[in-house]
Amino acid sequence: MATLAELQRHAIPGMAQILPGRGNLPMVQVRTPAATGVVYLDGGHVAAWKPAGFEDVLWLSEKSHWETGKPIRGGVPICFPWFGPRQNAPAHGIARLQVWDLESIRQEAAGVTVCLRLQDDDTSRSFWPHPFLLRHRITFGTQLTMALELTNTGTAPLAAEEALHTYFSVGDIRQVRILGLAGVAYVDKTDDFREKRQEGDITITAETDRVYLNTVSAVTVEDPAQHRRIVISKENSRDTVVWNPWIAKAKAMPDFGDDEWPGMHCVETCNVGAHLVTLAQGQTHVMTARLAVAKL
Ligand code: TA6
């Protein structure tokens, strides 16, 4: 793993710097007139994005761990190579627990793009015996673009689930409406994984944990308490997860404040279950999530 001193060669003076963040974990901090943003090398984890004129769009728990090997609660955890729990292995896979390498930082028309990479190693192979190369290209600008690029660097076919598990900051989840998934089938994980169909817009009135299937739709989150709407569009993703833990689940998570559930929810861009990504030797797949925010 590169030292902080070795990472400085990537800095762009006045725009992108590499410095110790929470828990002294190394982070890239981007500051431009368009937006500010933060991504940690731990987990390749985007932790903040604040476009000019708005409060931070991403949510972070005040109780989050800030330790290598433990997932940050909030921001955008990367779930790979599986989604959800797995016996004798970390939930949501290993990528969010490992320290990624900083490959480059570039100033582009759309913003400042930070590229992080993660390759298989003894740890990953102990859980999942496949060679792989992941790149996470994050562009911090008036929009936030996250492109998760997966390459099969092995000789055998690779099959993996993936998710950009994005936590959004909202004024009051009880006032939020989520548009764009009407008519889409979903698995309701709070009701024995029964398959249902979304009727109209989504409102959150209890623990909500749904995998919307086979949808390429953009999703709009209307947040009247913060007078803003967030549009989440995506490419090469077949599923969208919507999650809020509500009261009991929030209490049950040690890295989640008991009273934090009204201020957040997840809309996750993913390929899970039957839509896992399959790649032949040398093949690459890029899943992209793009966030935009506007006044409501
Ligand atoms: O994406 C929703 C979900 O799968 C929920 O079931 C809940 O487990 C959430 O992810 C958080 O998972 P984590 O492992 O980060 O606590």
Closest residue CA from atom 8 of ligand 1:
84
Round to whole Å and give the CA distance between 282 and 151.
Answer: 6
Round to whole Å and give the CA distance between 291 and 293.
Answer: 7
**Helix intervals (H) in the chain:** 4-7, 122-127, 246-252
H or E element that contains 163: strand 162-164
Establish whether residue 71 lines the binding site of ligand 1, counting it when its CB lies within 6 angstroms of any ligand atom: yes
The answer to whether the CB of 144 falls within 8 A of the CB of 290 is: yes
Instruction: Walk along the chain (296 residues) and give the pLDDT tens digit of each residue.
Output: 889 999 999 999 999 999 999 999 999 999 999 999 999 999 999 999 999 999 999 999 999 999 999 999 999 999 999 999 999 999 999 999 999 999 999 999 999 999 999 999 999 999 999 999 999 999 999 999 999 999 999 999 999 999 999 999 999 999 999 999 999 999 999 999 999 999 999 999 999 999 999 999 999 999 999 999 999 999 999 999 999 999 999 999 999 999 999 999 999 999 999 999 999 999 999 999 999 999 99
Establish whether residue 92 lines the binding site of ligand 1, counting it when its CB lies within 6 angstroms of any ligand atom: yes
Establish whether residue 52 lines the binding site of ligand 1, counting it when its CB lies within 6 angstroms of any ligand atom: no
Give the ligand 1 atom nearest the CA of 249.
7
* pTM beyond 0.85, yes or no: yes
Establish whether residue 91 lines the binding site of ligand 1, counting it when its CB lies within 6 angstroms of any ligand atom: yes
Written as six digits, the tokens of 47 are: 């932790």
Closest CA to 148 of 292, 291, 289: 289
Give the ligand 1 atom nearest the CA of 92.
14
- End-to-end CA separation in angstroms for the chain: 44
Q: Which of 10, 45, 136, 165 is catalytic?
A: 165
Look up 268 and say whether it is catalytic.
Answer: yes
* Residue 92 CA to ligand 1 centre (angstroms): 8
Round to whole Å and give the CA distance between 79 and 261.
Answer: 21
